[in-house]
Amino acid sequence: MSDSDPTAAPAGVPPDLAGTHAPAERYGFLQAAGARLRYACWNVPGTGPTKGTVVLLTGRGEFIEKYATEVVGELLGRGYCVYALDWRGQGLSDRALADRGKGHIDNFSTYMADLQLFLDKVVAPAAPRPILALCHSMGAHIMMRVLSENGSGPLSAGVLCSPMTALKREALLRSVLMLMPEIPAIDERYLFGTGPFVVFAREFNANFVTHDERRYLFTDQWFQADPRLTLGGPTLGWGRQAVHSMTAAVAPGYLERIDLPLVLISAGEDPLIESGTHDAVAARLRHGEHVTIAGAKHEVMMETDALRDLFWQAFDRLAKGVLAK
């Protein structure tokens, strides 16, 4: 784990993003059950004091470089080391299907086991304390489930951005899934309304995730710089497992087991996640806080500067409280 694996590094950096991209000190692969998981680690630059570590977990379809473009540099500038993971099936981690463009998973418990392995084998042995989690969407959902079932482990607190607690139009998805047999021939198809990545279909004016066009294009630019990162939509099987996992996460007594201080950040204009559920989720946590960023779409950390400032205020407030202990 001490040596960086060059095959886990991006093949290239988009020229327009080179000025803000923070290359990791170490890229590597972690062998999990049935897949290699790719991770990256950054140390605080120079000789300045280290405040601790941030474990950065992305959402569905995302990859480490999307956050290494700006967010990682902002964390390093605050004095935090950063440890990031590509979920299996995306980024440079192994893909589940022969068609690499399909985002597929057999069960969300597999994601949970992968995260626990990453925390145990990569983060806990080396990361400077305290360790904060910073998770987006699906990553936030998986983190909450791991915290409930496995405990806080090495973590001291966490920020969950647009956590996947319920989906918009989820009732329709559940109705369709009830009609579809749970067999590989069906579950490995693209979820209705999605398909392979097509750059020409990514019109900014029709996007669901941000008001900031420059940051919206990060994904396209990285896919062009390293085509191995490219990913299309989720499969029907991914949708089925997501619904099962969200049901499990809100079962009576489940959220109440989480003992870690968590700030849930809702995007006020989120068209993907049912953010109206976040207040009730936060209320069930032992140490939960709910913050809504009015005007933000789903990807708060990829929003306009003014909206991102509100996110960073919430992050810095939590971090200050942890450091004061």
Q: Does a structural domain hold residue 14?
A: yes
Q: Does pTM surpass 0.75? A: yes
Q: What percent of the chain is modeled with pLDDT above 90?
A: 88
Q: What is the pLDDT of residues 242-290, one digit of tens each?
A: 999 999 999 999 999 999 999 999 999 999 999 999 999 999 999 999 9
Q: What is the pLDDT of residues 152-210, one digit of tens each?
A: 999 999 999 999 999 998 888 898 888 888 999 999 999 988 999 987 778 999 999 99
Q: Are the beta carbons of 64 and 91 closer than 8 angstroms?
A: yes
Q: From residue 97, how far is each of 20, 184, 190, 210 by CA, in Å?
A: 33, 11, 12, 29
Q: Tokens 């971090």 identify what position? A: 319
Q: Does a structural domain hold residue 244?
A: yes
Residue 264 bridge partners (DSSP): 160, 290
Q: What is the pLDDT of residues 70-91, one digit of tens each?
A: 999 999 999 999 999 999 999 9
**DSSP one-letter string for 86-144:** PPTTSTTSPPSSSSTTSB--S-HHHHHHHHHHHIIIIIHHHPPSSEEEEEETHHHHHHH
Q: In the predicted model, is pLDDT for residue 114 greater than 80?
A: yes
Q: Does a structural domain hold residue 314?
A: yes
**Structure letter (DSSP) for residue 219:** H
Rounded to a whole number of angstroms, the CA Rg of the chain reads: 18
Q: How many domains does the chain have?
A: 1
Q: Does a structural domain hold residue 96?
A: yes
Residue 64: left (phi > 0), alpha (psi -120 to 50), or beta? alpha
Helix residue ranges per DSSP H, the chain: 64-68, 71-77, 108-118, 124-126, 138-150, 170-179, 184-187, 213-216, 218-225, 236-249, 278-284, 305-323
Give residue 37's domain range.
Answer: 6-323
* 125 burial via Cβ count (<10 Å: 0-12, 13-18, 19+): exposed
Predicted confidence at residue 198, as pLDDT, reads 86
Q: In the predicted model, is pLDDT for residue 47 greater than 70?
A: no
CATH of the domain at 294: 3.40.50.1820
Predicted confidence at residue 308, as pLDDT, reads 98
**Residue 202 CA to chain centroid, in angstroms?**
21
Question: CA 226 to CA 319: how far, in whole Å?
Answer: 34
* 304 burial via Cβ count (<10 Å: 0-12, 13-18, 19+): middle
Q: Are the beta carbons of 245 and 203 closer than 8 angstroms?
A: no
Q: Does a structural domain hold residue 1?
A: no
